[in-house]
Amino acid sequence: MTEFSRRTFVGATAAAGAAALVGLPAETASAATPGSVGLTGTVADIRHVVILMQENRSFDHYFGTLNGVRGFDDKQALQFPDGGNVFRQPDAGRSDGGVMLPYRMDTSKYNAQNAGGLPHDWATGHQAINNGAMNKWIPAKGERAMGYFTRADVPYQYALADAFTLCDAYFTSLAGPTDPNRLYLWTGTSGPGVDGTTGPWIDNTPVTDNPVADWTTYAERLQDAGVSWRVYHNPSKDERTGDYDDNALSYFKQFHNFPATDPRYINAMTKWDLTAFDQHCKAGTLPTVSWLVAPYLFSEHPAANPNYGAHWVNTALQSLMANPEVWKHTAYVVMYDENDGYFDHMVPPTPEAGTANEFTQGRAIGFGNRVPCWVASPWSRGGWVNSQVFDHTSVLRLLEVVTGVQEPNISAWRRAVSGDLTSCFDFSAPDLSLPTLPDTAALMAKADAAASLPAVKLPAIGAQAMPVQEPGARPHRRLPYRPWADVTVDRATGKVTCTLANSGSVAFPYTVYPNIAYAFAGTPYTVAAGASASYVWDTAATDGRYDFTVHGPDGFVRRFAGSVVPAGQDDVAVPVVTAAVAGSALTLTLTNAGQTAAYFAATPNDFGTPAQSVWVPAQSTRTLNWALDQGRYDVIVTAATGTRFTQRYAGTLH
């Protein structure tokens, strides 16, 4: 959205006054644990879904240093052909290696809480992603894009992750700004539906005062189905109390044209602030679906600060938890509409060329970059991580499960690739204890005090260092994925075929990258459950060599490299490696199809499995069992044959 000057509210609004604007206290003390009477142990226990979409923060920007997630220590991150990786962003303006690393926006030294925004439009979003190469962040967004916070800087956000479930593969629906992403949250599309007759919105438009959208929203579908809903917001233009034009229903002609007595107008366009939300929680009259919309001051949109946003998030959470009968039937989902211009290292899944309703102007609409998403509920307590792919339409998919009301605007590709958030919950084991969270009033006061600190400084030349994540692990939700990829080499034709298989219960998005010979960019493959696809490298065009990498969700990586030994050339070693999972181990079958012995080495790239090596005589096969680490593996197999033979296998067995 349009950025406000921090000066417009810092001087006039202190923490106590800001709390008063919300209208509720900031207490975070635990209440007595209610009983689980009346719970069925199924998704039917969810009677209320509360949705809060905040503004403009990326996942790495907030959680790159959190333990147990795919953050700055990610050993399965995208590698560049020059030997660097996605964390080392090319930066022609720096003389210390020509790269920019992530750097801390230290709130104890700088006015980092109130740092301003960065470019976050469709053009620079696609420029940064660069067809999956992920190597244009600095030209597109500037060096400030690499700034991040730690637990010391945003303690409330980290405390929520420790208390509930954090999704570390939740992507924006569109590689662009606020308005179209909010349209995906409220309607499943940023265009007129999935008929493809009109191009989708890709940038912000002054649509609140002059609405042009007119397709059917999910709120209208709920109304038609007799399912209760409401948007809790203040339609004023005051940046301290108004909704910052973030109520996407106000983008639609019909909501301006409904009579003032129409329940659709009443629920979407009239004032229902957090005081009303609190009253409805206390009275037990919360609707089935609630959308919350924060004012600019509390939205976390740079320069609106994270601590003020924490107060808004927490105020709603405390209202929910204060009524045990409401809380034990509620799922509270908090996410961010887009990443602003802040860096995130994860490769967003994208559709294959020609996928219906997923391209405009010759570019894939989505996904955009990764953003934080928490799922707070009695069934998602405990500091879990969920690495299933989600986007904003996943929230609608959850609502479909809870209400039975379908959203036909969601494209077939998104339905295949994005989950419905139900993997975040364990309905068989509700935890009705209430977490003790940081005092957000004190955090707001701290942010106000930080306004007198100097602006954030970029790291000095020669002073850059790669950040590390907090020590420790956290539990991971079981996912419906079962991907596999391996290669066969046709020595007669020189063709190397990689089979991308999927024996899981949902579609799996692969992205394949060439490491030599061709431009570094991702080629997407969406493989349906029970299906497979093939990627073929013809070494006749690359002097007999091949080298490519396959990436997928949940740390899935394959790399296959080497030179094809022509058919009939049998006076050398010819290494062949295949892999399979058997029980609690990865079985590596090492074959030497040549006439001289071959030395194979298996080296861990991640996790704690010891290295192994073996000599394989001519025309022989040996087997290595590679132990899994809580279902995870990452091993590099090489053969000392002079052909640059390398195969890497990384992933997770659920």
The candidate with the shortest Cα–Cα distance to 78, out of 104, 60, 98, is 60
Tokens representing 224 are 């038609």
Nearest-angstrom CA–CA distance, 444 and 455: 18
CATH topology of domain 46-451: Alkaline Phosphatase, subunit A (3.40.720)
Pick the range with the lowest mean pLDDT from 31-35, 272-276, 343-347, 459-463: 31-35
pLDDT of the residue at 654: 85
In angstroms and rounded to an integer, the radius of gyration of the C-alpha atoms of the chain is 26
What are the tens digits of pLDDT across the range 137-169? Answer: 999 999 999 999 999 999 999 999 999 999 999
Tokens 């609502």 appear where? 399
Q: DSSP letter string over 126-153? A: HHHHTTTT---HHHHH-GGGGEE--TTT
Nearest-angstrom CA–CA distance, 35 and 145: 46
DSSP-derived pairing of the beta strands 289-292 and 48-54: parallel
Alpha carbon dihedral 340, 514, 388, 555, in 10-degree steps, equals: -110
Nearby residues of 397 by Cβ (< 8 Å), 6 or more positions away: 407, 410, 415, 418, 419, 420, 421
Domain boundaries in the chain?
A: 46-451, 483-652
Pick the range with the lowest mean pLDDT from 4-18, 117-131, 136-150, 406-420: 4-18
Nearest-angstrom CA–CA distance, 591 and 525: 29
pLDDT of the residue at 5: 32
Pick the range with the lowest mean pLDDT from 244-253, 280-289, 369-378: 244-253
Tokens representing 524 are 């997407």
Q: Decide: 397 and 38 in contact? Cβ < 8 Å.
A: no
**Residue of 291 and 28 predicted with greater confidence:** 291
What are the tens digits of pLDDT across the range 229-243? Answer: 999 999 988 888 888
Measured CA angle at 358 (ends 352, 359), to 5 deg: 85
The candidate with the shortest Cα–Cα distance to 72, out of 13, 147, 7, 9, is 147
Burial of 332 (0-12, 13-18, 19+ CB in 10 A): buried
pLDDT at 613 over 70: yes
Tokens 């700004």 appear where? 177
Query: In which band, very low, low, confident or very high, does the pLDDT at 445 lie, cut at 50, 70 and 90?
Result: very high
Query: Which residues lie across from 648 on neighbouring strands?
Result: 559, 636
Query: Which residues lie across from 360 on neighbouring strands?
Result: 363
- Cα 486 to chain centroid distance, Å, stands at 27
The candidate with the shortest Cα–Cα distance to 345, out of 164, 146, 629, 52, is 146
Q: How many helices (H) and strands (E) does the chain have?
A: 16, 27
pLDDT of the residue at 8: 35
Q: What is the mean pLDDT of residues 549-561?
A: 99
Nearest-angstrom CA–CA distance, 103 and 436: 30
Share of the chain above pLDDT 70, in %: 93
Nearest-angstrom CA–CA distance, 256 and 253: 5
Query: Which residues lie across from 646 on neighbouring strands?
Result: 561, 638
Q: Decide: 507 and 553 in contact? Cβ < 8 Å.
A: no
Tokens 């039975």 appear where? 404
Q: At what angle do helices 440-450 and 306-322 cross, to 10 degrees?
A: 170
Query: Which residues lie across from 649 on neighbouring strands?
Result: 558, 635
Nearest-angstrom CA–CA distance, 297 and 17: 12
The whole-model pTM stands at: 0.95
Tokens representing 31 are 């209440």
Nearest-angstrom CA–CA distance, 165 and 422: 12
Report DSSP state, residue 507.
-
pLDDT at 25 over 50: no
pLDDT of the residue at 366: 94
- Whether the ω angle into residue 59 lies within 30 degrees of 0, i.e. cis, is no
Nearest-angstrom CA–CA distance, 442 and 439: 6
Tokens representing 427 are 């309905």
The candidate with the shortest Cα–Cα distance to 271, out of 238, 234, 243, is 234
Q: Decide: 379 and 425 in contact? Cβ < 8 Å.
A: yes
* Backbone angles phi and psi of 598, in degrees to 5: -130, 140
Share of the chain above pLDDT 90, in %: 87
